[in-house]
Amino acid sequence: MKINIFSIWLFSLTLSICAIILIGGYTRISDSGLSITEWLPITGVMYPISEIQWQVEFSKYQKIDEFMLVNSTMSLNEFKFIYFWEWFHRFFARLIGILYLIPLIYLLIKNKINKNYFIRIFLIGFFLAVQAIIGWYMVKSGLVGRIDVSQYRLAMHLSMAFIILGITFQTLLDVNMKNIDNNNSYIKTNSETLFLFLFLLIFLQIAYGAFVSGTHSGLLFNTWPMYNGNIFPSVENNIIIGFINFFETGEYIIFAHRTFAIFLFLLVLYINLIFYKKNNVLRKSYLLLIFNLTFILQIVLGVLMTFQNIPWHLALAHQGNAIVLFLISISMWMLCKKSHQINVT
């Protein structure tokens, strides 16, 4: 069988983007994101080696509010730990840029890319460049007058990462869809719009999760489903008025995140019910079953995180599982789209 180099390239990009989302997640969880206070696209790839270089980097960090107000007792060795993760995050981003550009040039020269995919491929490259700018724009927000980055810019950075992942993976599926047999793997009904809706809602829940992380709202309550014994979280001395609370006030944010998860759960139940009624072979729909199990796992991880006060390993597992949900939801939508196209023709 002839190897599809274009597909291998897209698959490599997909894995790399998944990896950097997780690396970025740990960088965020470990409070490492503000350890490098400059954006040096070229020379920033160099890692400090000598003690003098480390002292220079540490002195830069000591000038920002996060150090002065939160980490004033931090030692140089502790700084080296958080510095590594921010450096590694940026270094891996540069690797993805290389992984995108060099193979792309080769594939274009060898005419290995169908012209139908040109727009999506170049859009991926454009968004990768924009993501680098957003990354620095996010970091810059936490250097002066704050001890953390803006939750709005964090959400923008995370959303762009998933948009890039979505376009890349969707293109990979589209290229290889003709080789996928979905006779026993998916629903054969005209429900393409429903599954697109599910995918979009999952994306929105992931994006909104950045507000939970950016405001540390998940630390406000270690009870579930109640909020410290209350049905709704109580807000004291709130000076913010209106809809902006859902982006600024922690109690509103965590309530919205949990409530949206319930609506997603009801939608998933509805999809399963429709499938069962029309096919009566739910056990044969392997992809939907995998999605169901992954969705349940996501809920379990979220609840465990709440009870255990957001330990880093569960938080990272929650984010990693969200990536899996995101990719499966794209796959289900694409396969449903394929089934609908076959039925129409």
Report pTM.
Answer: 0.93
Nearest to 119 by CA among 171, 162, 173, 161: 171
DSSP sequence for 37-71: ----TTGGGPPP-SHHHHHHHHHHHTTSHHHHHT-
Task: Please state, in angstroms and rounded to a whole number, the distance separating the CA atoms of residues 284 and 99.
Answer: 38
pLDDT attached to residue 240: 80
Measure CA 141 to chain center: 20
Residues 266-301 have pLDDT tens digits of 999 998 888 777 765 555 578 889 999 999 999 999
Cβ atoms of 339 and 279 closer than 8 Å: no
Task: Please state, in angstroms and rounded to a whole number, the distance separating the CA atoms of residues 33 and 93.
Answer: 14
Measure CA 46 to chain center: 27
pLDDT at 337 over 80: no
What's the whole-number mean pLDDT along residues 88-102?
97
What's the whole-number mean pLDDT along residues 175-187?
64
What's the whole-number mean pLDDT along residues 181-206?
78
Mean pLDDT computed over every residue of the chain: 91
pLDDT at 235 over 90: no
pLDDT band at 66 (very low <50, low <70, confident <90, very high): very high
Q: Quick one: tokens of 41?
A: 């696209």
Residues 4-28 have pLDDT tens digits of 999 999 999 999 999 999 999 999 9
pLDDT band at 29 (very low <50, low <70, confident <90, very high): very high
Task: Please state, in angstroms and rounded to a whole number, the distance separating the CA atoms of residues 335 and 270.
Answer: 19
Query: Which has more confidence, 237 or 9?
Result: 9
pLDDT attached to residue 344: 44
Task: Please state, in angstroms and rounded to a whole number, the distance separating the CA atoms of residues 129 and 170.
Answer: 20
User: E strand or H helix at 274, and its extent?
Assistant: helix 250-279
How far CA 10 is from CA of 5, 6, 117, 161, 171, in Å, comes to: 9, 6, 12, 15, 8
- Phi/psi for 108 (5° steps) reads -70, -40
pLDDT at 201 over 70: yes
User: E strand or H helix at 176, and its extent?
Assistant: helix 151-176
Q: Quick one: tokens of 10?
A: 């897209």
What's the whole-number mean pLDDT along residues 163-171?
98
